[in-house]
Amino acid sequence: MGPAPLQGGVPVASPARRALERIQPYVPGTSAEDARRLFGVHDAIKLSSNENPYGAGRLAREAAARAAGEIHLYPDGASRALREALGRHLDVDPRQVAVGCGSDEIFRMLAEAYLEPGRSAVFAQTTFSQYAFVTRLMDAEEVSVPLKEGVHDLWEMAYRARKHRARLVFVCNPNNPTGTYVTRAEVLRFLDAIPGETLVVFDEAYVEYVEAPDFPDVLELIREGRRVVSTRTFSKIHGLAGLRVGYAVGPVDVIETLERVRPPFNVNRVAQAAAVAALQDTEHIEMSRRINRAERQRLAQELKALGLRPYPSQANFVWVDLGRPSDEVYRGLLERGVIVRAGSSFGCPTALRISIGTPEQNQRLIDALAAVLEAAATKGEVGA
């Protein structure tokens, strides 16, 4: 955390919590502005943050515009209209829904409610970074489990949860960054092996993109009385990433516990209005899902044709292993105005995560990647 501050020329102890020594600030992916500034590229396409390339639907945009006329007023602190809309949309009691400023805040609320020094959380080694962040923030023990052939090793995670008496287990399904998933049968066996004091959190940020018939229905498990939580977001298929709206669905007592640590007025007025409207825009949701399905399949085929190994994805991105360090390829794409996510940010220096864009954006990516790989092979940096 840097050198100790001086007072009268004498080092003094930092007033910051010691737990912060384990935390580094979150580093977002490269932006289009970065591409302009670093490489002079003025038409860069951003395929790095898993956003909906078609943006928000018409209903959400119109609702946001109307709500903007009242931004001088505080929002509904309890997000009642949104919780009720989610209850109807998901067929759950609104009392089973908590709303946050993005899923990130939901994870933080879960950590604040259930973690402290001496307690632990279990999650995959290669997954969304916020699970580790919130665990460290609460000065709790982080227990990371390597993926098994690119998929969560649920049996090992259950074993670690018992061994470390974990209070939280995070399962990202489909997993970010690999796009892989665990099945309903695997989840049921996993839950049967989990200790009673452990709360399992399924991060389902990409659930609307899933096509697999054996994908687990976590909401049904919650309706059956299982002590699990599903977290979801409006940042992906609904195209509201800039407004920051996420939510959790779980047992009533868990949601009531989260409400105790929820900041006041945590979801702004415009975000609440847009989210309610987005749930009603089935045309936009189905269009986004349909195009993503087709382009996900096409992109995987094109990557294989280039001699690469894309993981089978159920999300709106593809994780591809180059078999060699990916930094040079990442930079080559950036120089050509194509922004993807380097695998090094997930501890995987040979991989890239590529968000699925429009058909035109995806074609530009494929053409740029082919050119980069050809140039690198000529220099002997990347094999075919």
Give the residue carrying structure tokens 């999650």: 123
Residue-wise pLDDT for 303-315, tens only, equals 999 999 999 999 9
For 122-138, b/e burial (b = at least 16 CB within 10 A) is bbbebbbbbbbbbbbbb
Total count of residues recorded for the chain? 384
What's the pLDDT at 384? 43
26, HSE (Cβ side, Cα atoms, 13 Å): 11
CATH 3.40.640.10 assigned to domain 58-280? The reply is yes
Angle separating helix axes 130-137 and 102-114, nearest 10 degrees: 40
Q: What is the pLDDT of residue 109?
A: 99
Domain layout of the chain by residue ranges: 27-54+283-378, 58-280
Provide the residue type at 147 as one letter.
L
For residue 243, give every residue at least 6 positions away whose Cβ sits within 8 Å of its Cβ, in sequence order, or none: 64, 234, 268, 270, 271, 274, 275
The CATH number of domain 27-54+283-378, selected from 3.90.1150.10, 3.40.47.10, 3.40.50.620, 3.90.1170.50? 3.90.1150.10
Q: Which residues of the chain fall short of a pLDDT of 50?
A: 383-384
- What pLDDT is recorded for position 39? 79
What are the residue ranges of helices labelled H in the chain?
Answer: 32-39, 58-67, 80-90, 102-114, 130-137, 154-164, 184-193, 218-223, 252-261, 269-280, 282-305, 327-335, 359-379
pLDDT for 24: 86
**Alpha carbon distance 191, 136 (integer Å):** 25
Cis peptide before 174 (omega within 30 of 0): yes
Q: Are the C-beta atoms of residues 231 and 103 closer than 8 Å to each other?
A: yes
pLDDT on residue 11: 58
How far apart CA 161 and CA 155 sit, in angstroms, is: 10
Cross-strand bridge partners of residue 229: 201
* DSSP three-state, residue 275: helix
User: Are the C-beta atoms of 245 and 64 separated by less than 8 Å?
Assistant: no
pLDDT tens digits, 64-109 = 999 999 999 999 999 999 999 999 999 999 999 999 999 999 999 9
Say if 27-54+283-378 and 58-280 have the same CATH topology. Answer: no
Q: Given this model, what pLDDT does residue 34 score?
A: 83
